[in-house]
């Protein structure tokens, strides 16, 4: 496929996304908890347009199908201070098992004693294969099971009248990747297909909410050692785009933007840099830094990935 076909792929993405309004179908309420803020310096420097490009352990968040692209054991550690207010910490590990099959696990922890949230991830992915058609050899599928827990009101400075309680729930993500040409992929991600959370509050008692579902479709073009670019459309409501240019073969200069798909929407930008160094015996590491400029507040981000 030539690069000139990329605009056509993007047009298909925009047409597909409205046809599956996941938010309306699966979530009647929008709890202000367990938000997916995006983790990883490379991904967020590119505006969060990563559903078609991800190929490391952070796939447990972005698209579990991306785990099937990895051929090495990987560990990733990431941190962000969301909007300069809320710390998020993330760690994940992935490894291939058999040809085309990979598994991963991870954890995200955020907040403090006022509101602390934890999410555990268990993911698996595989490359479909068939002797009858080469099409399936270019398809990767994956899934992630998430276990969620939260506690709130444990801050000593909250006063005697503060609301206290906890929560427990789970979520299910499904993802897919299709390689349409060398270096060109289309990705889809259905996040929180099922995502109930049971809350127990000192004022409201026990009640249940669903974390809203999100459908993302994206296209990515990657020429390793030279450049990458990608576009994601989320719930037909938000668009993300990013680009990476490699300098000297191992330094990545990145930029991106994200905005709502409505007239007069504010454009939010991101930028970052990364160092990707391959060592002997298949080992390597990458250090990625990013900064997101948002209308509500800016967010510094960083991640370290080690492969062996």
CB count within 10 Å of CB 109 equals 14
User: Predicted confidence band at 72 (pLDDT cuts at 50, 70, 90)?
Assistant: confident
Does residue 139 register a pLDDT over 80?
A: yes
The answer to whether the Cα torsion of 42, 301, 255, 297 is positive or negative is positive
Q: Look at residue 60 and tell me whether its pLDDT is greater than 70.
A: yes
- 9 has pLDDT over 70: no
Dihedral sign of CA atoms 241, 16, 20, 143 in order: negative
> Which pLDDT does position 26 carry in this prediction?
29
| The pLDDT of residue 277 | 87
Give residue 27's pLDDT: 31
d(Cα 220, Cα 187) in Å, to the nearest integer?
A: 8
> In this predicted structure, what is the pLDDT of residue 302?
96
Which one is predicted more confidently, 156 or 239? 239
Which is higher by pLDDT, 241 or 28? 241
Of 122, 135, 259, nearest to 186 (Cα)? 135
Between 94 and 26, the higher pLDDT residue: 94
Query: In the prediction, which pLDDT does 112 show?
Result: 87
Instruction: Assign 238 a pLDDT band (cuts: 50, 70, 90).
Output: very high
> Which whole-number Å values give the CA distances from 147 to 41, 75, 175, 250, in the listed order?
24, 20, 18, 36
- Name the helix (H) or strand (E) containing 277: strand 268-278
The model's pTM: 0.85
Rounded CA gap, 274 and 265, in Å?
29
Tens digit of each residue's pLDDT (9 = 90 or more) over 46-57:
999 999 999 999
Pick from 76, 52, 56: nearest CA to 287: 76
* pLDDT, tens only, 254-291: 999 999 988 888 899 999 999 998 776 668 999 999 99
Tell me what pLDDT residue 11 has: 39
Question: What is the spatial distance between Cα 77 and Cα 200, in angstroms, rounded to a whole number?
Answer: 31
Rounded to an integer, the average pLDDT of 46-72 is: 94
For the ranges 74-78, 80-84, 124-128, the lowest mean pLDDT is seen at: 80-84
């Amino acid at each position: 496929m030539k690069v000139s076909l990329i605009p056509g792929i993007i047009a298909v993405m925009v047409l597909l996304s409205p046809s599956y309004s996941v938010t309306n179908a699966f979530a009647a309420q929008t709890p202000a908890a367990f938000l997916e803020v995006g983790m990883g310096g490379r991904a967020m420097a590119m505006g969060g347009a990563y559903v078609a490009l991800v190929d490391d352990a952070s796939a447990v968040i972005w698209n579990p199908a991306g785990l099937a692209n990895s051929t090495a054991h990987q560990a990733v550690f990431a941190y962000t201070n969301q909007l300069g207010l809320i710390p998020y910490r993330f760690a994940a590990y992935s490894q291939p098992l058999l040809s085309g099959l990979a598994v991963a696990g991870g954890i995200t922890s955020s907040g403090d004693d006022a509101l602390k949230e934890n999410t555990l991830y268990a993911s698996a992915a595989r490359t479909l294969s068939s002797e009858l058609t080469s099409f399936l050899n270019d398809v990767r599928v994956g899934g992630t099971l998430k276990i969620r827990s939260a506690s709130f009101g444990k801050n000593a400075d909250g006063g005697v009248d503060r609301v206290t309680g906890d929560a427990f729930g789970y979520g299910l993500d499904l993802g897919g990747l299709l390689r349409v040409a060398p270096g060109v992929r289309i990705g889809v991600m259905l996040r929180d297909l099922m995502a109930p959370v049971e809350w127990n509050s000192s004022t409201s008692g026990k009640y249940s909410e669903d974390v809203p579902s999100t459908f993302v479709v994206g296209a990515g073009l990657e020429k390793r050692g030279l450049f990458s670019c990608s576009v994601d459309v989320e719930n037909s409501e938000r668009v993300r785009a990013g680009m990476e240019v490699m300098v000297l073969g191992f330094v990545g200069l990145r930029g991106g933007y994200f905005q709502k798909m409505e007239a007069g929407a504010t454009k939010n930008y991101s930028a970052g840099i990364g160092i990707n160094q391959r060592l002997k015996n298949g080992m390597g590491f990458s250090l990625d830094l990013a900064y997101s400029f948002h209308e509500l507040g800016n967010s510094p981000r960083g991640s370290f990935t080690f492969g062996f």
